[in-house]
Amino acid sequence: MAILSTKDLKKVYGSGENEVHALAGVNFQVEKGEFVAIVGTSGSGKSTLLHMLGGLDRPTSGGVTVDGKEIFTLKDEALTIFRRRKIGFVFQNYNLVPVLNVYENILLPVQLDGGSPDQTYIKDIINTLGLSSKLGNLPNNLSGGQQQRVAIARALASKPAIILADEPTGNLDSKTSQDVLSLLKVTGQKFSQTIVMITHNEAIAQMADRVIRIEDGKITG
Binding residues (CB under 8 A) for other proteins: these are 51, 54, 56-57, 76-77, 80-81, 83-85, 89, 91, 93, 95, 97-100, 104, 107-109, 111-116, 140, 154, 158, 166
Distance in Å, CB of 108 to other proteins, minimum: 6
Of 80 and 178, the one with the shorter C-beta distance to other proteins is: 80
Of 34 and 150, the one with the shorter C-beta distance to other proteins is: 150
49 CA to centre of own chain: 11
Distance in Å, CB of 95 to other proteins, minimum: 5
H or E segment to which residue 38 belongs: strand 35-39
Distance in Å, CB of 9 to other proteins, minimum: 16
String of b and e for 126-159 (b: at least 16 CB within 10 Å)?
bebbebeebeebbbeebebbbbbbbbbbbbbbbb
DSSP string, 49-84: HHHHHTTSS--SEEEEEETTEEGGGS-HHHHHHHHH
Of 65 and 111, the one with the shorter C-beta distance to other proteins is: 111
Distance in Å, CB of 93 to other proteins, minimum: 7
Distance in Å, CB of 82 to other proteins, minimum: 9
Distance in Å, CB of 85 to other proteins, minimum: 8
Residues whose CB is less than 8 angstroms from the CB of residue 141 and which lie 6 or more positions away in sequence, other chains included: none
Of 158 and 193, the one with the shorter C-beta distance to other proteins is: 158
Of 34 and 156, the one with the shorter C-beta distance to other proteins is: 156
Q: Which residues pair with 64 in a beta bridge?
A: 6
* Side-chain-side CA neighbours of residue 22 (13 Å): 20
Q: What are the start-end ranges of the H helices in the chain?
A: 46-53, 76-86, 102-112, 119-128, 144-157, 174-190, 202-205
Q: Of 208, 206, 124, which is closest to residue 163 (Cα–Cα)? A: 208
Of 26 and 51, the one with the shorter C-beta distance to other proteins is: 51
